[in-house]
Chain A
Amino acid sequence: MSLPGGVYRELEAVVGPEHISDRPWILSAHRRPMPHTDRKPASPEAVLLPGSRDEVREIVRICNRHAIKYIATVSSVMPMAFPNEPGTVILHMKRMNRIVEINEEDRYVIVEPGVRHCQLKPELMKRGLSYPVASVGPGGSVLVNFSSSSGDHHTQHGTSRTNRYLLGVEWVLPSGELVNVGSLGSGAGWFCPDGPGPSLRGLIKGWGGHWGSLGVYTKVAIGLDAWKGPEVMPTEGHSPTYRVRLPEDRHKVFIFKFPTLDQLRDAMIDIGKAEIGHAVLKYFNASAALLATESANHFWDLWNSGSFREELTRPLYVYLATWSPEELQYEERVLMDIIKETGGEEVDRSIREIYESNMDFFIVVGFLQRVLRLGGGWSPAKLSGDSVSHMFEIGKAIPDLMNQFIEKGQILDAPDNWQVIPMEYGHLAHLELLFLFDRGRPGWPSIPLSFMKESAEADIKRGFHAAMPPGSGALMEQLGPLYSNYHVWARKIKEAFDRRNVSNPLP
């Protein structure tokens, strides 16, 4: 099907002829299956490039009037950015790309959806400010990471998760009505998400976000942190072998290994109690090998050498970022005391050097997509948030789960490829496992599905809190009751806000 001519002309009148297209080659960029699935999305009927909030509102009203489904997207990295069914239009929010305001005094920034991490982060660094970049890569949308999708990142130990940074929001509801969230709603400015004015932050993004299924966010303000590094990233070398070393008298990287996960966990908790460290991670090991290498062959050489498997089975990455050399010395002394008390030791020097030369790993996650280098067959699981201890409890069971699939040759032999990242000095933690599969293997599309199912069922059986709400589909029907029937609430909210079910109806 295609859009009725009248509808196309109505939309065209809003955005202008250059900013709407239904040409087949324009649409082709929005209907290719992502490499981790064989499910081909429905082709959208048109792609629109709105240029303002008012244009978005008008488009949404037209879509409601004609029951046309719409998906607002920026980077389109996630499957939710692709149509599930015919009769959908894409609102590509790229033209709305202004940094509206950087308020240095009150430490917030207001951005439109099209602003990318690689644009905002350096602008803030010049001003001695920063914010956490979610693990999506430098081309990801800032607004989306803070308002619409997940948002865990490498430095949330010393900062917090992106949902905690969300302040005022300008929100076009699925119907086209405009809501200003938080202090913005009472004309008091962008500084607070909870008032004076309508406190709807939890509705927008309690934890995971609604992936565009509750309308369109056209501006958000996010809180800012102080930046302890130089105004400009000190980059040397050429692609793909860049070197980014921050001033060594104030920035230092350590990687430790532990005999047991319990010891690693204790070290992580103690570091949080001591309130030191900017980034603390129990990081993936196969993913680390992918990030550290420059081709699939290079990865295999490194992986087969065994050094990353052995040294990083139970690793703890710590990145100290301080204001002064003295502060660094203090944090280092405290850190080394904790490591000694918990039985850790430093990993092979050559591994630590990789991170000393690539501190962007902690700041902008510049090479994240290297994880997909083995052909693109990948999927995350667990994606949970709870206490550090509970995350490790779940984590301990991961190798057994992975090994079931490894023994069948279905996934990469990397049973320790999972991570725990504490947030707010250990107040909470994030858990995630990543499994990689070969797209050349017959029957590969069933692998991620069966893995996810097995993972969730095992968690339910053991009473683990190990899945990220909200979500959709049959699996969520199983998990929902474990989370106070959140899925029922989420569905009712969706129905109340989007009566015609036009805003990115998820399957």
Chain B
Amino acid sequence: MDRLSDFTYTMESCNHCGQCKWILGPKMRGWKYAEICPIHQRWHYDAYSGQGLINIAEEVLNGELAYDDGLIDHIYRCTTCGACDVNCKSIRDMEVLETILALRAKCVEEGQGPLAPHKEYARCVEEEHNIYGEPHDRRFDWVQDGDPSAEGARVAYFVGCNGSYRHPEIARDTVSILSAAGLRFTLLGAGEYCCGAPLWRTGQIKAAEKQARHILGALNKLGIKTVVTSCAECYGAFRGFYPRIAPLGFEVRHISELVRDLLNEGRLKIARRLDVKATYHDPCLLGRLSEVYVPWNGKIGAYGRHDPPKEWRRGTYGVYDAPRMVLQEILGPRLAEMTRNEENSFCCGAGGGVADAFPDFALWTASERLDEAESTGAEAIVSCCPFCGSSFENAIGAGQRQMRYYDLTRLVKESMDGTKGGKE
């Protein structure tokens, strides 16, 4: 179920109820921050929404809508944040985001997409195994005190392109945390390539699959049982994309989950609480979109019955609690919540290739999110994804805001005492 034609049931079922645009009833909190879809909030037309995109997908599939540059631009304005999808699935059995991704894949397959910056991802990944086109042999330049890898470790820290080349402090802080807890882990070294998420989200499925196969091979070769990421995009790719290629032979954990467990086990200790009032931003691919993909190739029978039963990914079991529990330890009562949180989180604007193809819109989206963060009285916004971090840092700079951005790993590093446990 990955081709556009697999989603005709979704395309035919939509009745414009608007739930792909608006916050769910039980989560409503006020006039502001009630919209959940960035493109809809920015442009207002129904075509800019989950509903509109699946209407477009149907017309493209049926040959009723001809490709042109404007249409392709339109299809790629969506950040693929999945807010529409999770909200829709609260009430319907529809696959809104999968339909949007399949539409992009169809555009690529038919030579109509993606946009130029996305093609550049693919070229860079092909040549240098990272989306920035930086030299592959400098991927681990961020390592300062020697390779922390432990011989024969069954835990791998997968750093990701952004952590390796753009936010090396996240990689360093993560290593510090893992080391402080006495965890034996390894880096993949030359075997670490781009996880493929930016290719997957822009419809470049074959290129993404190539990355996945390489990484799965590298991990299997090392006998890895646990992959740790500090990047929500990588986390989302491992859990949401790789199972489409092959069954995962290892567990995938985000650093926030690991830190929570290490704190609970007493292997990490918070030495001091930080004096900052902060709010937490749920990254899409760590939150609502992080549930493991379970392939389903059944049939939809009379009255919507799925045979065999389908395991839905509705965002119910996203990673929401772990980062909050960690922040609660670090900040105490100074942790504030935004209205659009957890599965209703508003996108940072960076997803789906938007940051590179439509930087103005990415900036607008991040600014909207920062406004919401400021409305809680917070001085800082914390998240767990370097792409979200880049997006917020851009918007903070552009708006000359007082708000600060922290990756969770930085706050953990600053607050811990580095107790070593020595167990894996």
- Does B23 touch A at the CB level, under 8 Å? yes
Q: C-beta contact mask, B310-323 vs A, less than 8 Å → 1, else 0?
A: 10101111101000
Interface extent on B, as a size class? 35 or more
A373's partner among B23, B51, B301, B304 (CB-CB below 8 A) is B304
A138's partner among B14, B24, B55, B59 (CB-CB below 8 A) is B24
**Is B58's CB under 8 angstroms from A240's CB?**
no
Among A49, A94, A367, contact of B90 (Cβ-Cβ < 8 Å): A367
B31 engages A233 (CB within 8 Å)? no
**B316/A29 in contact, CB under 8 A:** no
For the A-B complex, the count of residue pairs with Cβ-Cβ distances under 8 Å equals 204
| Chain B residue nearest in CB terms to A141 | B18
In the assembled complex, B130 has its CB within 8 A of some CB on chain A? no
> Whole-angstrom distance between the alpha carbons of A366 and B344 in the complex?
15
Given A296-B303, A369-B92; A32-B58 close (CB under 8 Å): yes
Within B81-114, which residues are at the interface with A (CB < 8 Å)? 86-87, 89-93
Within 8 A of B (CB), among A106-134: 115-123, 126
Chain B residues with CB below 8 A from A170, complex form: none
Pair B305/A297 contact, Cβ less than 8 Å: yes
Hey, what's the 0/1 contact readout for B114-127 against A, CB within 8 Å counting as 1?
A: 00000000000000
Complex CA–CA separation, A122 to B21 (angstroms): 17
Contact A376 B65 (CB under 8 A): no
Q: Which of B34, B301, B306 contacts A116 (CB 8 A)?
A: B34
Q: What residue in chain A is nearest B302 (Cβ atoms)?
A: A438
Separation of A365 and B19 alpha carbons in the complex (Å): 12
Cβ proximity bits B217-249 to A, threshold 8 Å, 1 near / 0 not: 000000000000000000000000000000000
- Return A43 CB to nearest CB of chain B, in Å: 10
Residue among B12, B29, B45 with most chain A CB within 10 A: B45
* B25: A residues at CB distance < 8 A: 117-118, 137-138, 360, 364-367
Interface residue? A250 (CB, 8 A)? no
**Contact in complex: A118, B22 (CB < 8 Å):** yes
Q: Among the listed B19, B29, B47, B306, which residue makes an inter-chain contact with A28, where contact means beta carbons less than 8 Å apart?
A: B47
Q: Which residue of the partner chain A has the closest CB to B32?
A: A119
Q: Assess the B47–A121 pair: CB atoms within 8 A.
A: no
Which of the segments B66-74, B347-355, B364-372 contacts the partner chain? B66-74
Q: A118-B25, A296-B306, A297-B305 are in contact. Are A240 and B90 (CB under 8 A)?
A: yes
Give the nearest-CB partner of B73 in chain A: A25
**Which residues of chain B are near A242, meaning CB under 8 Å?**
24, 26-27
**Which of A19, A137, A436: most chain B CB closer than 10 A?**
A137
Q: Does A34 contact B (CB under 8 A)?
A: yes
**Does the CB pair A49–B55 fall under 8 Å?**
no
Considering the chains assembled together, what is the distance between the CA atoms of A240 and B344 in angstroms?
12
B1-26, CB < 8 A from A:
9, 12-19, 21-26
Q: Which residues of B contact A92 (CB under 8 A)?
A: 44-46
A116 touching B59, Cβ below 8 Å: no
Asked if B343 CB lies within 8 Å of chain A CBs, one says: yes
Of A25, A94, A139, A240, which one neighbours B71 at CB under 8 angstroms? A25
Q: Are B24 and A366 in contact (CB under 8 A)?
A: yes
Q: Is the CB of B303 within 8 A of A49?
A: no
B344: chain A residues at CB < 8 Å are 239
Q: Is A500 an interface residue (CB 8 A)?
A: no
In the complex, chain B residues whose CB is within 8 Å of the CB of A452 = none
Judge whether A26 and B45 touch: CB under 8 Å: yes
Task: Tell me the complex Cα distance, A81–B16, Å.
Answer: 11
**Which residues on the B side are within 8 Å of A376 (C-beta)?**
12-15
Contact partners of A367 in chain B: CB under 8 A: 25, 90-91
Q: Complex: how many Å from CA A441 to CA B303?
A: 9
A21 within 8 A of B: yes
Q: Could you tell me the distance between the alpha carbons of A374 and B12 in the complex, rounded to whole angstroms? A: 12
Min Cβ gap B32→A in Å is: 8
The distance in angstroms between the C-alpha atoms of A412 and B71, with both chains bound, is 40
Interface residues in B281-337 by Cβ distance below 8 A to A read 300-306, 309-310, 312, 314-318, 320
Most chain B CB inside 10 Å of its own CB: which residue of A92, A117, A294: A294
Task: Tell me which residues across on chain B come within 8 A of A296, comparing CB atoms.
Answer: 93, 303-306
CB of B18 within 8 A of CB of A121, answer: no
Known contacts A21-B45, A366-B26: does B15 contact A35 (CB below 8 Å)? yes
Known contacts: A244-B26, A369-B91. The answer to whether A25 contacts B303 by CB under 8 A is no
Interface residues of B in 23-50 (CB under 8 A from A): 23-31, 34, 44-47, 49
Chain B residues 358 to 412 lying within 8 A of chain A, measured CB to CB, are none
Per-residue B-contact encoding for A221-255, CB less than 8 Å = 1, 0 else: 00000000000110100111110100000000000
CB-based nearest B residue for A412: B303
Distance in angstroms from A14 CB to nearest chain B CB is: 16
- Whether a CB of chain B sits under 8 angstroms from the CB of A99 is yes
Asked if A32 contacts B306 (CB within 8 A), the reply is no
* Contacting residues of chain A (279-337) with chain B, CB-CB under 8 angstroms: 294-297, 300
A25-B70, A29-B47 given as contacts; is B12 within 8 A of A121 (CB)? no
A439 within 8 A of B: yes
Binary flags per residue of A48-80, CB closer than 8 Å to B gives 1, else 0: 010000000000000000000000000111000
* A81–chain B nearest beta-carbon distance, Å: 8
B343 touches A239 (CB 8 A): yes
State A34–B13 Cα separation when bound (angstroms). 8
Assembled-state Cα–Cα distance A235/B52 (Å): 30
Contact A239 B90 (CB under 8 A): yes
Residues from chain B with a CB closer than 8 A to the CB of A123 are 30-31
Given A120-B31, A122-B28, A238-B343, A32 contacting B22 (CB threshold 8 A): no
Residue among A77, A232, A240, A438 making CB contact with B316, cutoff 8 Å: A240
Asked, given contacts A239-B316, A440-B301, whether A28 binds B23 with beta carbons under 8 Å apart, the answer is no
A24 within 8 A of B: yes
Chain A residues engaging chain B, CB cutoff 8 angstroms: 19, 21, 23-30, 32, 34-36, 47, 49, 75-77, 81, 92, 94-95, 99, 115-123, 126, 137-140, 232-233, 235, 238-242, 244, 294-297, 300, 360, 364-370, 372-376, 412, 436, 438-441
Q: Which residues of B contact A (CB under 8 A)?
A: 9, 12-19, 21-31, 34, 44-47, 49, 51-52, 55-56, 58-59, 64-66, 70-71, 74, 86-87, 89-93, 300-306, 309-310, 312, 314-318, 320, 342-344
Sample (16) of A-B pairs whose CB atoms are under 8 Å apart: A32-B58, A34-B16, A77-B18, A116-B34, A119-B34, A123-B30, A137-B19, A139-B21, A233-B29, A238-B342, A240-B89, A240-B91, A242-B26, A295-B93, A367-B91, A438-B303
Known: A29-B45, A92-B46. 20 other contacts (CB 8 A): A76-B46, A77-B15, A99-B31, A116-B18, A116-B22, A118-B34, A137-B25, A138-B24, A139-B21, A233-B29, A235-B27, A295-B310, A295-B312, A297-B305, A360-B26, A367-B90, A370-B91, A374-B303, A375-B303, A412-B303
Top 6 closest pairs, chain A to chain B, by CB: A366-B25, A139-B18, A296-B304, A29-B46, A139-B22, A138-B25
